[in-house]
Structure 1
Amino acid sequence: MKFEHLVQVNDLADPAQSNLTREEVWFGLLCRAEDPRAFLPGLERCVIRERHEDALVRELHFGGAVVEDRVSYAELQWMRFESAPTAEHAGGSLTISIEEPEPGEVFLRFQYATTLPEAAGQDVQVAEIVRSAYHESDLDTLRVIRMIAESGRLQ
């Protein structure tokens, strides 16, 4: 199953909301790659097994389950998380792209490719539940990025 959605980072019409720069959003995504515990409920620890100029290979420890994934990225543009299916994990990929159609108008595009089959019949309801759960997780990602940016501004 493949799907995507767009999350607005800055609402330029809302003066009460603090706007994030592309660099602040990128830094938050780097934090998600380096230490994703604040972004992934249930994650106990993350071990970086390999480090390359534009990628990381990680072990994510959720209790007794260990998920291995690869994080690749193009600085200030996109980050991709890829994992192979295992007995404990369905596998798939998530690409998060930073889009800025106008200066200061920042969005995050989340693109999922899962190993779940495309929805048909009764599976449509399951697919909608999965999409909704991922969307909530993506909104949480933005909330954590905002907290990281706000804490950095205090220094």
Structure 2
Amino acid sequence: MLFVTHVVPVNEPGQPRLDREAVWEGLVMKANNALPFVPAMSECEVVERHGDSSFDRAIRIQGDPYRERITLEAPHRVVFTRLSGPILGTIANEIEGDGDDMQLRFSFALVIAGTPGNSQGEEDYAKNMTGMYIAALEGTLDAMRRIAVDNAA
């Protein structure tokens, strides 16, 4: 099983300032349609809703299809639970802190089908996946900042 966590500051010098509400709204937008936020994703469609705070979506990442259950834990965390696909597990996007100290944490605990735990194959995949998810995290913040600039205009 792969365990990775990465944190990035939300309000970096020279970037549009985001408040907690804007970051939360961005995470909800990403959960509903990740295409503007996640460069490696080519398809994203909500396929079933389970009330106000949970839904399933069908996605495609690097050609592989997945189904995920999204749980919105307002106003601080979005959890993505992989229900089907070649990589199963849980991904979380969390808002930590506030104001200038606010951070966005990305964590995942995943199992790769057909790859033994603690193997070189798992380690190699983890390195590639970590880079891909860090790019998604940075893409998420970039999209949130673009939205903030557009809303301010």
* TM-score category of the 2 structures, normalised to the smaller one: 0.7 to 0.9
Unpaired stretches in structure 1, ≥5 consecutive residues: none
Deviations, residues 49-70 of structure 1 (Å, cap 9, x unaligned): 1141221122235698542211
Distance in 1 (CA, whole Å) between partners of 2:117 and 2:10 is 29
Does 2:100 align with 1:104? yes
Length-normalised TM-score, structure 1: 0.80
Counterpart residue number, 1:22: 20
Q: Secondary structure of the residue that 1:48 maps to in structure 2?
A: strand
For residues 3-152 of structure 1, the aligned pairs below 5 Å read 3-11=4-12, 14=13, 16-41=14-39, 42-60=41-59, 66-86=65-85, 89-100=86-97, 103-116=99-112, 118-121=117-120, 123-152=122-151
**For the aligned residues, what is the CA RMSD?**
2.5
Distance in 2 (CA, whole Å) between partners of 1:129 and 1:35 is 23
By how many angstroms is 1:130 displaced?
Answer: 2.2
Opposite residue 73 of structure 2, the aligned amino acid is A
Unpaired stretches in structure 2, ≥5 consecutive residues: none
By how many angstroms is 1:121 displaced?
Answer: 4.8
Q: Residues 89 and 111 of structure 2 are in contact (CA less than 8 Å); yes or no, is this contact kept in structure 1? A: yes
By how many angstroms is 1:43 displaced?
Answer: 2.3
Rg comparison, structure with higher value: 1
Distance in 2 (CA, whole Å) between partners of 1:123 and 1:63 is 17
Deviations, residues 60-96 of structure 1 (Å, cap 9, x unaligned): 356985422111021121000111243xx31222101
Cα separation, partners in 2 of 1:85 and 1:61, compared to 1, 3 Å: closer
Length-normalised TM-score, structure 2: 0.81
Distance in 2 (CA, whole Å) between partners of 1:25 and 1:79 is 11
